[in-house]
Structure 1
């Protein structure tokens, strides 16, 4: 009985997904970006901010003409973006654990 309900729910979800993909193609909108690609881009952006911050720090420490305010702002931006990425990761892990612990 429960298997029939699960199969019915899955078929309904597949039908809705097919309708959405057809609607998206008809409207001429670009296809949705793959989640893994989106996540990879976000991690790359955080890494770029970390690298840029490190380069500004090195330039300031070597005596180049870099304002201290620019160094501090870049450092704080890199720190905040890294902390935000960690929080997103923690939420994903929490959701994954909840799904993994679900009884079917």
Structure 2
């Protein structure tokens, strides 16, 4: 039976801490922009419905719920990140 040996080759695509921070910051920015876009779309569709334009009520409700859920998820992620930061700050050094 053949034994498995750990690979001795080094990964060729190392990500520096700076690149990882940039990638995370970019991902976070894109996510927040997505939440903002959902809020704007919901507001626009609601205004169209109020003004009597040709928009279906169910489309307005779906856009509203998408915006609400994405904002709630964003707030929960923020809360968890703050909790993690506070926990790290409480750790003895």
TM-score with structure 2 setting the length: 0.78
- Rounded to whole Å, the distance in 2 between the matches of 1:47 and 1:37 is 15
Q: What's 1:103 paired with?
A: 92
Question: What residue in structure 2 maps to residue 79 of structure 1?
Answer: 68
Which residue of 26, 50, 68 corresponds with 2:39? 50
Distance 1:72 1:90 in 2: 27
Following superposition of structure 1 onto structure 2, how do residues 20-59 of structure 1 map, counting pairs within 5 Å? 20=11, 23-24=12-13, 34-59=23-48
The aligned length equals 79
Match of 1:61 in 2: 50
Provide the C-alpha distance between the structure 2 equivalents of 1:36 and 1:48, rounded to a whole number of angstroms.
18
Distance apart, 1:47 and its partner CA = 0.2
What is the aligned partner in structure 2 of residue 13 from structure 1?
A: none
TM-score, with length taken from structure 1: 0.70
The one of the two structures with greater contact order (alpha-carbon pairs below 8 A, sep at least 6) is 2
